[in-house]
C-alpha cells in the first residue's frame, strides 16, 4: 500500500521502527523539558515577565508536542497498514 504524504514526510529518512520511536521519545521529552525550562530561563536569566515566559513555553513546547504527535500517528499508520 502506498504511504500517504503525511506519513512519508513524518518518517522521512527514518528506515526502522526503532529510529522512529527514538525520535518520538526525543520529541516528547523535549516538549516537556522546554515547557518546564523556558519560563525559568526567560524570567530568571532574561528578565521577561511571567506572561511572556509562559507564552514562549507554550509555543516552543507545543511545536515539539505536535512533532511527537506526528511521529506517533505515522508509526501507528505504518504498524497498521504497511511494514517497516
**pLDDT (tens digit, 9 = 90+) per residue, 19-66?**
999 999 999 999 999 999 999 999 999 999 999 999 999 999 999 999
Query: Taking 90 as the threshold, does the pLDDT of residue 1 lie above it?
Result: no
How many CB atoms within 10 Å of residue 7? Answer: 19
Buried b (16+ CB within 10 A) or exposed e, 10-41: bbeebeeeeebeebbeebbebbeebbeebbee
Cell numbers for 82: 504497511
The confidence score (pLDDT) of residue 41 equals 93
pTM for the model stands at 0.88
| Chain-centre distance for alpha carbon 47 | 27
Buried b (16+ CB within 10 A) or exposed e, 60-77: bbeebbebbebbbebbeb
Query: Taking 90 as the threshold, does the pLDDT of residue 84 lie above it?
Result: no
57 in Cβ contact with 6 (< 8 Å): no
Amino acid at each position: 500500500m502506498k504511504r500517504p504524504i503525511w506519513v512519508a514526510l513524518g518518517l522521512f529518512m527514518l528506515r526502522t521502527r526503532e529510529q522512529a520511536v527514538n525520535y518520538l521519545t526525543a520529541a516528547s521529552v523535549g516538549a516537556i523539558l522546554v515547557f518546564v525550562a523556558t519560563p525559568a530561563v526567560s524570567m530568571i536569566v532574561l528578565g521577561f515577565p511571567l506572561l511572556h515566559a509562559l507564552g514562549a513555553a507554550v509555543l516552543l513546547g507545543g511545536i515539539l508536542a505536535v512533532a511527537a504527535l506526528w511521529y506517533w500517528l505515522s508509526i501507528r499508520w505504518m504498524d497498521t497498514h504497511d511494514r517497516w
